Chains A and B, each alone.
Chain A
Amino acid sequence: MDSALNATFEVLSFAAIVVLVVLGLGIIAGMMGIFNLAHGEFVLLGAYSTYLVYSLGLPVWLGMVAAPFAVAAVGLVLERLVIRRFYAVPVVAMLGTYALGLIIREGVRSLIGGRYLSVPEPIGGSLTVGGAQLSCWRLAIVIITTAVMLASYLLLTRTSFGLRVRAALENPSLARVSGISTNAIYAATFTFGAALGGLAGALIVPVFSLFADLGIRFLILGFLAIMVGGIGTFQGSVAGAGAVGVLSAALPWALPPVLADVMIFVLAIVFVKFQPRGLIAGRRL
């Protein structure tokens, strides 16, 4: 009984983490058709800024609040300087993000001396529910992720800004003709996506510790999630991330680790083959 409770909670909390990471990636991909190969590095930067703040002696939660803004700033700069030139050629944009990711990753690696660093969680300890020990911080992550998701959803559907964003997403030329500045929207979206990535990094760094390759694992999961969930809608990204996250966390409980590792990918590809629009029909993949 405790095992089941434990397992459920663990699976849910990891799925929440994946959702948080993928949200930013999905928004950028859906909006601009650019698969941001540097998104993992946005996560890394969020983790790194949190660590920086902590190493200066300030409380960790302060770093976590600051991280999304720091990473958003970086995202904005990158978007203005590099990404925006290639909206017409997403492939080259992908290349550009790859190069950027490489630079950021190696830069962080040399800054932390290639080491693995631990960051304490702002809310430590665990709750005992039933017979299971639930980590307080992971619970916090689940709660924060849900809040962020809700907030983003409300932003997209209930505000005029959100309306413009969705318009630019569905039909860019019509949006432009209607007087919506797609450039500004794109910049805002990229920045928002980066901020989400930064937040994800900040929240997960106490769980997984800081190291230069932190982002890569999540990047791959992220692309799978987008494929599975469907590009072009907010719900799609969430659904895909949820599915991938749940599978990714649940399979190791049932299968030997070697097999579990591989199955998630095979399952995702097979699924997309037969359901190309993804879970929630967005733009056709």
Chain B
Amino acid sequence: MHEEMKDKRTSLMAGRRRFLQGAAWMSGAVATGLGSWIIGPKWANSAAAAIKVGIATDLTGPIAYVGNATANVANMVAKDINGAGGILGRPIQLFIVDTASTESVAVANVRRLIQRDMVDVVLGGITSSMRNAIKDVIVTRGKTLYIYPEQYEGKECTPYLFCTGPTPAQQCDQIIPWLIKNGGKRFALPSANYVWPRVLNKYARELIEKNGGEVIFEEYYPLDQVEYSATVNNIMTNHVEVVFNTIIAPGVGPFFKRLHQAGFGKRRGRLACVYYDENALNLNAPNEIEGLASCLDYYRAVTAQDAGSARIQTEYDKQFPGKILFSGAATGMYRGLKLWEVAVKEAGNLDREYVAAALDHAEISEGPGGSAEMVPGRRHCRMNMYTAVVKNGDFEIVARSTGLVDPREC
């Protein structure tokens, strides 16, 4: 009976302690100001010695669902790291600012991160134009390390700027041969009119032609175009077999719907869209995207094959139940933070030169999609790539890269 009572008391106390910790954390956050988001560390006196990490991402605006996912991941990883004792015995403190999909707002907020909050590293930026806007402020004028965690078109070779998201080579090298085998040789490249599709298409075209395929047409549309009847007509009348799509929201939903209505799927046509992740599954009804092929560094289905991924996914779902999903859009943030953690531990201090030198060859054994390692001298990251196909509204992995794929950049 004493045992029971002790158990009950311990569990009560544990519950109360957890509640108090939570309340203390929240009031700490509130007290330190409705200012930038700060994750207060658990240690009482260590606020002065905290390592400051700046996160600049779209908390509002059209791609807020990506930005919020990366912010959540950052929170999760920070809590993880602090729970394990921090880095070099110091806790890390996150400073999260909104880049609002507006470059001028972003630049002002990031400048504040650098000058007022004096962060030791900045992770973030989603679109390439955002990255271009804030990189000068961080790297050149701010003399701070910058880690860019999203899939993009490559060709970013600025010193002290490290990229942890997939590049065109990583996304195309595996999927194009697969598409030729499982779709056909006649390709169409309908694209959104900005830099990522243009560079991706150039790389894809070479690969398509090298593998015996041909590109029937390649067209670029304004980003907010939602009417694609002319394009769909073009695809159907020219007997295109594979649609390698880089149109993004809001156009992609209506485009796929129209394509489906015109009978593309019925004719055994193959849809391909390398950026398609779990977030995009909401854009269309399952029957409209049946058989769509995508190539990313992570899908939820990967958790069946990789224990590390499973742990991360479960952890995320527990901490952030709701509509902001953990998907390929946020994996780069995880990778970036963990690689940086490894680098700081190796460097032994926070000096930019030493951390950059260590980050240059950093490796992590566990991450979403498996392990990852930086390519020395290139500031880009090797990772596992998976080709997945949409079946009944969910992704099914059909191919996995043999080993880590080279980004082939810089």
Contacts and interface: CB of A to CB of B under 8 A. Distances in A.
Asked whether any CB of A lies within 8 Å of a CB of B in the complex, the reply is: yes
Given A115-B279, A133-B261, 5 more contacts: A7-B229, A14-B229, A114-B61, A208-B226, A208-B253
B324 interface: yes
A285 interface: no
Interface residues of B, number: 36
B193, B227, B258, B324: which has the most chain A beta carbons within 10 Å? B227
A2, A10, A249: which has the most chain B beta carbons within 10 Å? A10
Interface of B: 60-65, 68, 193, 219-222, 224-227, 229-230, 233, 237, 249-250, 253-254, 257-258, 261-263, 279, 282-285, 323-324
Contacts of B222: 257-258, 261
A282 to B, nearest CB: 29
B36 to A, nearest CB: 19
25 contacts: A2-B237, A10-B229, A113-B68, A116-B283, A126-B261, A133-B261, A133-B262, A135-B261, A207-B226, A208-B250, A208-B253, A208-B254, A209-B253, A209-B283, A211-B249, A213-B250, A214-B250, A249-B227, A249-B229, A253-B229, A253-B233, A257-B221, A258-B193, A261-B222, A261-B225
Interface in A122-147: 126, 133, 135
Contact of A115 (B193, B230, B282, B285): B282
A6 B249 CA distance: 24
B70 to A, nearest CB: 13
Contacts of B61: 114
A178 interface: no
B254 A209 contact: yes
Contact of A114 (B68, B219, B227, B258): B68
A212 B221 CA distance: 20
Contacts, number: 96
B229 A116 contact: no
A117 B230 CA distance: 24
Nearest to B63: A114
A252 B224 contact: no
The 5 closest A-B pairs by CB, nearest first: A114-B64, A10-B229, A209-B253, A116-B249, A253-B230
A133 B267 CA distance: 14
Contact of A118 (B229, B258, B283): B283
A164 interface: no
Given A118-B253, A211-B250, A213-B62, A258 B220 contact: yes
Range for the number of chain A residues in contact with chain B: 35 or more
A213 B284 CA distance: 18
Interface of A: 2-3, 6-7, 10, 14, 106, 109-110, 113-118, 120, 126, 133, 135, 207-209, 211-214, 216-217, 248-249, 252-253, 256-258, 261
A120 B257 CA distance: 10
A135 B258 CA distance: 8
A208 B64 CA distance: 19
Contacts of A208: 226, 250, 253-254
A257 B323 CA distance: 34
B250 A3 contact: no
Contact of B60 (A114, A135, A213, A256): A114
A113 B250 contact: no
A258 B221 CA distance: 7
Contacts of B254: 207-209
Contacts of B230: 7, 10, 252-253
A50 to B, nearest CB: 15
